[in-house]
Amino acid sequence: MPETALKTRPATTESETAVDVIGISKLFGSNQEIRALDDVSVAIRKNEFFTLLGPSGCGKTTLLRVIAGFEPPTRGSLHLGGRDISRLAPNQRPINTVFQNYALFPHMSVANNIAFGLEMLGKPKNDIRDKVTEMLQLVRMEELRSRRTSEISGGQQQRVALARALAPQPEVLLLDEPLSALDLKLRKEMQIELKRLQSETGLTFIFVTHDQEEALTMSDRIAVMNAGKILQVGSPREIYAHPSERFVANFIGESNFLNAHLSGNRVTLEAGGGTYEAVAPEGVADGKVSVLVRPEHASARPGEAAGEELAATVETVVYSGDATSLHLRLKTGETLKTKMPNGPEQSTAFGEGDAAAVTIAPGAVTILKD
Amino acid sequence: MSDMALNTPPEPGALELEEARQDNRSRWLLALPALLIIGCFATLPLLVMLVYAFLTPGDYGNVVWKFSTDGWVAVLLQRDIFDDTLMWADAHLSIFWRSLRLSLITTVLTLVFGVPTAWFIATRPREKRQFWLFLVTVPFWTNLLVRTIAIQELIRSEGVINLILLKIGIIDEPIQMMFTDFAIGFGMTYVYLPLMVLPVYAAVDKLDFRLVEAAHDLYAGRWTAFRRVILPLIKPGIIAGSILVFIPCLGAYVTPRVLGGGKNLMFGNLIELQFGAGRNWPLGAALSLTLMAIVMVALIYYVRVTSREREDV
């Protein structure tokens, strides 16, 4: 509904929900045999940069398309600011999308692309002109106003697509892997640009990506998806430091998975060493558990293990400039990667086949659900 | 050193120039057969027509080599038999008007029927499109005259349509459809519909449907999305289709002859008349060239009008 799209946003508090996804399933195929979304529920807060992260085919784009209105959900409902919008057509939802390939209208100039949504809302001509100018300034494209969209670079097209989606002042902005077509340097620039736009406009951004680094650096909260389900929702720090299950841990960052024994809130590794304090997630009972240790949270020194250190053998030494990674073999046969920052000294103290003593930082052990 | 000097290849620039020259020559050679055909069988006959248009008609057809502009004058004007004054050739004017009107109507009708058909085909699953395209092109496999006579069977007074309407009692006496402008328009729409469907199909096939989604996302309803996004993007196909339908319609000969009868002549029939019973080849040649000129002007105008762009906000 045009009116709702343009009504001024009320002052919001941190916890207010913008988009409420309630039990949405989406089945595809002639016999509904493909389950793209499987009973997905998530509440996206107002003014937050929310990222849907997952490998390709995990359902993140389908969820975005359901929110935009391009795909009707098979089951479940969708609320926007408390109102059920599940049955509304895309043009009736105060939600705009930045498409993966930008989908700029090739037969229109940059300015007319940005003006399109405003024209459809029936805004007066003067307001449209002013708003287009404002948007062009926002994305720093004033001088390309009357260019054809085919005459500008990928990064510039990206900015036009953003301006076009922001111009009608939607309540929610959806971004479908908008940076994937850009080269690395431009992608970094646009990441910062997007963050700036989000804080300047105060909009709710729902961002889809398969790039974990992008997700970690940009998001307020991340939902990690796999096989049509949301596995975990949390801040980048929570997701990275305390992944709830092996898939999440594996998908984000580098991981060591070790067998351990849980008793109360104390974990003992099978490979030996001391005990570590850790909070068990819901549904994990005492006994045999699987734990995660990030490589940068484990450090090694040459020599035999003593005290609470783990005994290991160096298998490979990988030098990568700022850091050195060691691939270690523990006495249980498990492998453990460590990553330690390089100091100013010339050479590493490790050789392949050497004995090493490993220390795991306190609080670095995370118990996984699976 | 001396060995190397001996083996030195020619300057790189010179080599490239030589290659480019050879490239150019082989391209001309490739184009030669087509150029010969166009020259001998298109340009030359046109020049013959141009010359004929300025000659005097012979008594039994053909031309007499005597300069005259009578052929051109007769395109629009006629001389009174009694007092030699010039006046408008009403018969010609009404034929021009009918040709123009029927060609325009046919173009519009093929658009009305062709665009949805093309859209339907282009939105089928890719493997099913071949079948629909095949159906569209089936009429091409049958002789035009046979198809036109088949239409005659449909619309004549004792034809299928009238019989059915009479049987179910909607009409009391057969509707006269044969030998009317309706019959010609109906026939031409049928004959030229595939020429509209195919280019429009090609344009819709290339259309990026994500742009349509983008339009909906930006608050455009179905009709607005069609008018503002789809239509401009499939315009090249619509222009190509319109040209492919309009031009042959203007010069159509078989369809108006069979379905329009002797009264409802079109441009093509008028030209044929001059080279046949009329025995006025210069007039026929002048009429042909006039038709060509009309088509050219119409084309240029059409392309100009349809390629105009919206102004910036």
pLDDT score recorded for residue B11: 60
Q: Which of B208, B218, B222 should be substituted to probe chain A, the one whose Cβ sees the most A Cβ atoms within 10 Å?
A: B218
Mean pLDDT of B83-97: 87
pLDDT score recorded for residue B9: 54
Q: Which of A62-66, B15-19, B117-121 has the lowest mean pLDDT?
A: B15-19
**CA A334/CA A258 separation, integer angstroms:** 7
Do A116 and B213 make contact, defined as CB atoms within 8 angstroms? no
- Which candidate from B217, B219, B232 shows the least CB-CB separation from A121? B219
Confidence of residue B241 (pLDDT cuts 50, 70, 90): very high
- Inform me whether the pLDDT recorded for A3 exceeds 70: no
User: Looking at the structure, do residues B205 and B303 belong to the same domain, yes or no?
Assistant: yes
pLDDT score recorded for residue A8: 42
User: Looking at the structure, do residues B40 and B161 belong to the same domain, yes or no?
Assistant: no
Confidence of residue A112 (pLDDT cuts 50, 70, 90): very high
User: Looking at the structure, do residues B143 and B9 belong to the same domain, yes or no?
Assistant: no
**CA B211/CA B233 separation, integer angstroms:** 10
Domains in chain B: how many in total? 2
Query: Which residues of A lie inside 8 Å of B (Cβ-Cβ)?
Result: 2, 5, 68-70, 89-91, 95-97, 99, 101, 103-109, 111-112, 115-117, 119-121, 125, 128-129, 132, 145-146, 164-165, 168
Q: Which of A88, A104, A105, A135 should be substituted to probe chain B, the one whose Cβ sees the most B Cβ atoms within 10 Å?
A: A105
Mean pLDDT for all residues in chain B: 88
Which of B14, B45, B78 is the endpoint of a domain?
B78
Q: What is the DSSP string of A89-126?
A: -GGGSSEEEE-TT----TTSBHHHHHHHHHHHTT--HH
- Inform me whether the pLDDT recorded for A197 exceeds 80: yes
- Which candidate from A91, A97, A128 shows the least CB-CB separation from B313? A128
Residue B226 with chain A: CB contacts under 8 Å? none
Confidence of residue B171 (pLDDT cuts 50, 70, 90): confident
User: Looking at the structure, do residues B205 and B112 belong to the same domain, yes or no?
Assistant: yes
User: Looking at the structure, do residues B50 and B173 belong to the same domain, yes or no?
Assistant: no
Query: Which residues of B lie inside 8 Å of A (Cβ-Cβ)?
Result: 208, 210-211, 213-221, 224, 228-229, 232-233, 309-310, 312-313
Do A168 and B219 make contact, defined as CB atoms within 8 angstroms? yes
pLDDT score recorded for residue B13: 67
Residue A149 with chain B: CB contacts under 8 Å? none
Q: How far is A257 from chain B (nearest CA, A)?
A: 42
Q: How far is B257 from chain A (nearest CA, A)?
A: 43
Q: Which of B128, B212, B219 should be substituted to probe chain A, the one whose Cβ sees the most A Cβ atoms within 10 Å?
A: B219
Domain that holds residue B158: 88-312
Cα distances (angstroms) measured from residue B248 to each of A271, B79, B147, B191? 87, 31, 17, 10
- Inform me whether the pLDDT recorded for B6 exceeds 70: no
User: Looking at the structure, do residues B99 and B220 belong to the same domain, yes or no?
Assistant: yes
Do A97 and B210 make contact, defined as CB atoms within 8 angstroms? no
Do A116 and B220 make contact, defined as CB atoms within 8 angstroms? yes
**CA B267/CA B97 separation, integer angstroms:** 9
Q: Which of A58-62, A152-156, B14-18, B19-23 has the lowest mean pLDDT?
A: B14-18
User: Looking at the structure, do residues B229 and B305 belong to the same domain, yes or no?
Assistant: yes
Q: Which of A10-19, A265-274, B80-89, B114-123 has the lowest mean pLDDT?
A: A10-19
User: Looking at the structure, do residues B165 and B262 belong to the same domain, yes or no?
Assistant: yes
Mean pLDDT of A188-214: 90
What is the value of pTM for the model shown?
0.79
**Closest chain A CA to residue B308:** A107
CB B242 within 8 A of CB B250: no
pLDDT score recorded for residue A51: 96
Do B228 and A146 make contact, defined as CB atoms within 8 angstroms? no
Do B218 and A117 make contact, defined as CB atoms within 8 angstroms? yes
Q: Is B238 part of any domain?
A: yes
User: Radius of gyration over alpha carbons of chain A, in Å?
Assistant: 25
The count of residues in chain A is: 370
pLDDT score recorded for residue B284: 93
Which of B78, B99, B128 is the endpoint of a domain?
B78
Which of B16, B46, B78 is the endpoint of a domain?
B78
Do A103 and B313 make contact, defined as CB atoms within 8 angstroms? no
**Closest chain A CA to residue B229:** A105
Max avg pLDDT among A260-274, B48-62, B213-227: B213-227
Do B215 and A99 make contact, defined as CB atoms within 8 angstroms? no
User: Looking at the structure, do residues B70 and B131 belong to the same domain, yes or no?
Assistant: no
Q: How far is A211 from chain B (nearest CA, A)?
A: 23
Residue A165 with chain B: CB contacts under 8 Å? 217-218
Confidence of residue B139 (pLDDT cuts 50, 70, 90): confident
ipTM: 0.81
Do B213 and A70 make contact, defined as CB atoms within 8 angstroms? yes
Q: Over the stretch B7-18, which tens digit does the pLDDT of each residue have?
A: 555 565 677 788
Q: Is B16 part of any domain?
A: yes
User: Looking at the structure, do residues B73 and B93 belong to the same domain, yes or no?
Assistant: no
Beta carbons within 10 angstroms of residue A66's beta carbon: 24
Q: How far is B224 from chain A (nearest CA, A)?
A: 8
Mean pLDDT of B277-293: 92
Q: Over the stretch A321-364, which tens digit does the pLDDT of each residue have?
A: 888 899 999 989 999 999 998 888 766 678 888 889 999 988 88
The CB-based long-range contact list for A360-363 (8 Å cut-off, 24+ gap) reads A360/A273, A360/A276, A360/A293, A360/A297, A360/A298, A360/A310, A361/A297, A361/A298, A361/A299, A362/A276, A362/A277, A363/A276, A363/A277, A363/A278
pLDDT score recorded for residue B10: 54
Q: Which of A116-120, B69-73, B284-288 has the lowest mean pLDDT?
A: B69-73
Q: Is B192 part of any domain?
A: yes
Confidence of residue A176 (pLDDT cuts 50, 70, 90): very high
User: Looking at the structure, do residues B156 and B278 belong to the same domain, yes or no?
Assistant: yes
- Inform me whether the pLDDT recorded for A67 exceeds 70: yes
Q: What is the signed CA dihedral for B302, B305, B307, B311, rounded to 10 degrees?
A: -170
Q: Over the stretch A229-252, which tens digit does the pLDDT of each residue have?
A: 999 999 999 999 889 889 999 999
**Percent of chain A residues topping a pLDDT of 70:** 95
Q: Is B164 part of any domain?
A: yes
List, in sequence order, every residue forming a beta bridge with A222; answer none if it has no partner: A51, A234
User: Looking at the structure, do residues B97 and B38 belong to the same domain, yes or no?
Assistant: no
**Closest chain A CA to residue B208:** A103
Residue A168 with chain B: CB contacts under 8 Å? 218-219
pLDDT score recorded for residue B26: 87
Q: Is B83 part of any domain?
A: no
Q: Is B237 part of any domain?
A: yes
pLDDT score recorded for residue B291: 92
Q: What is the CATH number of the domain that holds B230?
A: 1.10.3720.10
Do B217 and A112 make contact, defined as CB atoms within 8 angstroms? no
- Which candidate from A5, A103, A132 shows the least CB-CB separation from B210? A103
- Which candidate from B217, B229, B310 shows the least CB-CB separation from A68? B217
Q: Is B30 part of any domain?
A: yes
**Closest chain B CA to residue A131:** B313
**CA A76/CA A21 separation, integer angstroms:** 8
